[in-house]
Structure 1
Amino acid sequence: MFHALTHHPDLTQAQHRALPYVSNTDLSTLKNELLGLTRQPNPVALAYGTHFHTAVLEPPHYARTQERGIKWADLETLARQVRRQRYCRDILYRGQAEQSYTATHTATGVEVKLRPDLLVRSPAGRCLTLIDFKTTSSPDLPHFLATIEKYDYDRQAALYLDVLGATRFLIIGVQKKAPHEVWRVELTATPGPIEQGRKKYNTLLRHYARQAHEVPHTAQLGTVAPLAQAA
């Protein structure tokens, strides 16, 4: 499904974002435009997520900034809650954080990029587990599970698994509000979510490839006719 997999071990987050390849976030943007939606990302929420991931995955690089709207004390409480949870403490010790990869989608020729939160290899090297940390406003685990399809976490999981040839994909969900529960959800526990996610990303990459051939890169994605199948 993918070839020319390349590891870029020394890229910073900013350098990764500057790579001229398609990310999972780009696929979300394309989906919204195909469906005629005009959702704009919340810059405060994006910044909060970036700083939370740094606090959890790379604590030596974490520092408060002058950005407005971020509740730093709350963010740090969540990070501490994650890092003292036994399972999380173990995978953070054993895993590789924030590693950049690029690859080519064989069916369309579209080049993609991804940066998993954490990669954990088994001692024998036969099992590669991908782990993604998500903060959530969900009041309980059932509500959080309902967000998996809503926010296309299944698509992200399938894309990352297929690009890296990994065997497992786990989400660590962290409640933003008390009691700040930490949930572990394995999307590869049953085949359904991954199969659905695979259909999603393949559909969007085909749209992306057709668009790249039909219109200049500077054109707006919104010129493509909305198709419900992209959902």
Structure 2
Amino acid sequence: MSEGAAAALRVTLIDDHPVFRIGMAALLDSLEGITVVGQVPGFAAARELFAEGHETDVVLMDIDLGDGSGVDLTRDLLRDRPDLRVLVVTMHEDDDAVVAAVRAGARGYLVKSSPPDAVERAVRAVAAGEMILSPAVAERAMAYVLGGQRAARVPFPQLTAREREVLDLLAHGLDNTAIARRLTLSPKTVRNTVATVLAKLSLRDRSAAIVRARAEGLGGGDPAASGPSDS
């Protein structure tokens, strides 16, 4: 390669929503010096792609993949390929999973509603080694860094704090009525939250959720210690 010819910035998309993925690929391919070199719909497909030696500079990573967590995938990919630049894609910038992704090694996040110019800036900045974080996310991520190894791993980072709280009480064996009473919520809100948790974790029913939650360390200790949260 001659000094005057800069290589195109290679981007790979990992997102389980085909419409978003196709639209993002079209946008990125229309930008000068950027080319999309790969698209996969989920966790398993991404692992297979990179196991085959896929080369890319930046990964746009959906946080909530249909068959797994984008946070876990970020951690796995960076363990094997620390040179990768991962930019997580999220619906909400205050999502706990954004901070978890940064802890896992992501260089920042991109809100799915971002305009085209913001997408371009974020991709180019991350490729150049910069971090793309809001002040709130940066503060929480820094608190983790300063805490060092004492900081606890957050189970199910794709869930909100409230959803994890409900799942924890579910893992204690409480039914919806008891959970609602404990968290000062309506039974309908608890029922809807449980349904959301099952969908996010790709679980069939409450029993499967309990097994999965206990495997991740939830459901231990005294459930009476779980009081209403601020979320």
Structure possessing the higher relative contact order (Cα contacts under 8 Å, 6 or more residues apart): 1
TM-score bin, normalised by smaller chain: 0.3 to 0.5
> What is the TM-score normalised by the length of structure 1?
0.36
The structure whose Rg is larger is 2
> What is the TM-score normalised by the length of structure 2?
0.36
